Amino acid sequence: MSVTETLPDTAPDKGGPAQPLLIVRDLQKYFPVRGGILGGRKAVVQAVDGVSFEVKKGETLGIVGESGCGKSTTARLLIGLIDKDRGEIIYDGQDLGGTLSLRDLRRGVQMVFQDSYASLNPRLTIEESIAFGARIQGLPDPVGRARRLMERVGLSPDRFAQRYPHEVSGGQRQRINIARALAMSPRLVVLDEAVSALDKSVEAQVLNLLADLRREFGLTYIFISHDLNVVRYISDRILVMYLGEVVEVAPVDQIWSRQAHPYTRSLFSAMPSMDPDNRTLEPPLSGDPPNPINPPSGCRFHTRCRLAESACKTRVPTLRPLSVGSEHLAACHLHDLGSGHSKAGKDVLA
């Protein structure tokens, strides 16, 4: 395989290969819930609370979790679609809001959404949609760029350029959205449930395309999904979120063979077995995820955790490596000898 080229007009690398492409520190976003006769502030949804992680250059980070865990809010914060309450977003060594402007961030970071139809302007032709961002950013030859990218994502420009979004299938629309993201020559693409709405056979085609584009253009991905099989297939590392917090981060193979957080463990056990002779017998968890308005105290998972003890209700666990220097991090008192949990340090999840 040849060494990767980059998309035309990609902004030059500033931090060098060792600098993570993206660093997120202590990101927080609360949404007020208004209600009552006067529309006053009734409650607060703690959508994202103290989220920190890094994405290295060229890697794919998968983010998994159930609805309300904050994975999509995190994605939207990353590209500045909503304003953060607190925390730092550092892209290639430059701090957003400091040395890095929002406009420059969006040259480097682009996003593909789940709903392929809602994310395209129905009044623009496909060619115009793909060329639009590049034109706004003042990149040379936006139309030629759009047509070359259409070719690259498997849509013949002669057949598709003048069509409108409603005239093509869901799989084709998602290819258009990918081309549109790439038209800005980004280095990081955030894919928020980008293949979830597609039929399985079409999903496989789009996953192949994403893998090819990554290799060809040296892209870095953040891949958000609820489908663990898909995340395992495409990611180098996996980050697990629960009620606005990161509960576990690890390289794929490590987390696949050993889940360190009881929630991650439950999430993996909830996957269909695919073996008619050994079907799942017991659901790993009962009930639905709690509401992110007024989340539980201490460890937010303690209300559903079968290993929870009194320490879990009062003390907030911190995300820490399982052993010194390990890339496998978990936020659970079981892995903290000083936590006061009676089973701390023992392997009770196996």
Determine which helix (DSSP H) or strand (DSSP E) holds 95, and give its type and residue range: strand 94-95
For residues 229 and 15, give the distance between their C-alpha atoms in angstroms, rounded to a whole number.
33
Least distance CB 202 / other proteins (angstroms): 7
Residue (95 or 327) nearer to other proteins, CB: 327
316/72 Cα distance (integer angstroms): 23
Residue 43 CB, shortest distance to other proteins, in Å, is 16
* Amino acid in the structure at residue 309: E
Q: Which is nearer to other proteins, 150 or 184 (CB)?
A: 150
**Considering only CA atoms, which of 236, 233, 202, 205 is closest in space to residue 219?**
236
- Choose between 89 and 308: whose C-beta lies nearer to other proteins: 308
Minimum distance of other proteins from residue 17's CB (angstroms): 21
Contact residues: other proteins, CB under 8 A:
66-67, 169, 171, 199-205, 207-208, 211, 226, 228-230, 232-234, 252-253, 266-267, 270-277, 279-289
279 vs 346, which CB is nearer to other proteins?
A: 279
Closest CA to 243 of 87, 41, 30, 33: 30
Residue 16 phi, psi dihedral angles, 5° rounding: 85, 165
Closest CB to other proteins among residues 284, 321: 284
* Minimal distance, residue 264 CB to other proteins, in Å: 11
Cβ within 8 Å of residue 119, ≥6 positions away: 112, 113, 177
Angle, vertex CA 274, rays to CA 269 and CA 276, nearest 5: 110
Shortest Å distance, C-beta 170 to other proteins:
8
Name the token pair of 202.
């079409």
